[in-house]
Structure 1
């Protein structure tokens, strides 16, 4: 299962909740991608290929080099399509929390200085703003190229809560169905 969305939309949190609810393994792509010093790990693609042949898994849908592979092997794609104001608020708050707490992320990495938002083109906050519509722009092509892949569009935490309640073991629907509250 894949979780798609803009940076800060809540992909990792949603993937964690899906994994807990469905009792399936979660693979965090950022942890597999980033080596020490924010350098891409040479094993990234092979690690993704290895877990994606397992019978059940959930991860974020990101990183160009593995997007197609993940789409080919996924059974469902959950699209976190929150409003830009929600996505950016979450991204800024996450960035501030990580920076002020000096939170260690993957392989010893930490968020860079906050002033980098003014000087670095790919600072996570600038990246999040610049790419905020990218997932929405990709979805029509995903639906066209992978017609058998159910795409579950959730527009809020409430939508995700309702869907998770319905698909949990003993729930009333399959993973490919979603309650229609926010259409």
Structure 2
């Protein structure tokens, strides 16, 4: 297991499988899509495997994610508790978006407002964000989950690092958008 920063060179020659970890609002989907574009492979958003219409869960989502991970090249969000370990086993580089909590919650707020008013990235399955006032009535409102989930994701990534069950895995920790951009332009570009 190797933990790198935004300026450290990647020790792999032409890495081809990337997972992007981070809490809601960290930019997982955005970065995974950018990585796919730079790798020249199609992007598939993780939530498209999971969400069906009416916020239901697709019955085949686990099998679909694992079939995706069996491909030789990809970048995807590091999600799905039931498949995370197997996804990690196939990942060469885990990009950890360890941004400050205020930043990720702020981004989640902006994204939620944009989606609610018909702008921004649509939610897979044709789902729509609930009314903004549900922040006060729903314990599972996305903003509450973004706040509460921040330390959970950090703990999950740290567990992967400390348990070291994937000795060939490279973890790149990025804190803030400037580090993301520097990593993309530097170590990532140099490796691929």
C-alpha distance in 2 between matches for 1:123 and 1:31? 20
| C-alpha RMSD over aligned residues | 1.6
Q: TM-score, normalised by structure 1?
A: 0.88
Q: Which has the higher strand share?
A: 2
Shift of 1:167: 4.7
Counterpart secondary structure, 1:24: coil
Aligned pair 1:159/2:176, yes or no? no
Unaligned 5+ residue runs, structure 1? 176-183
Unaligned 5+ residue runs, structure 2? 1-17
The number of residue pairs the alignment matches comes to 172
- If asked which structure has higher relative contact order (CA below 8 Å, sep 6+), I would say 2
Aligned pair 1:82/2:99, yes or no? yes
Shift of 1:100: 1.6
C-alpha distance in 2 between matches for 1:110 and 1:44? 20
Aligned pair 1:37/2:54, yes or no? yes
C-alpha distance in 1 between matches for 2:119 and 2:177? 27
User: Which residue matches 1:56?
Assistant: 73
C-alpha distance in 2 between matches for 1:139 and 1:57? 20
Counterpart secondary structure, 1:27: coil
User: Which residue matches 2:155?
Assistant: 137
Instruction: Point out 4+ residue stretches in structure 1 off by more than 6 angstroms.
Output: none
Shift of 1:119: 1.0
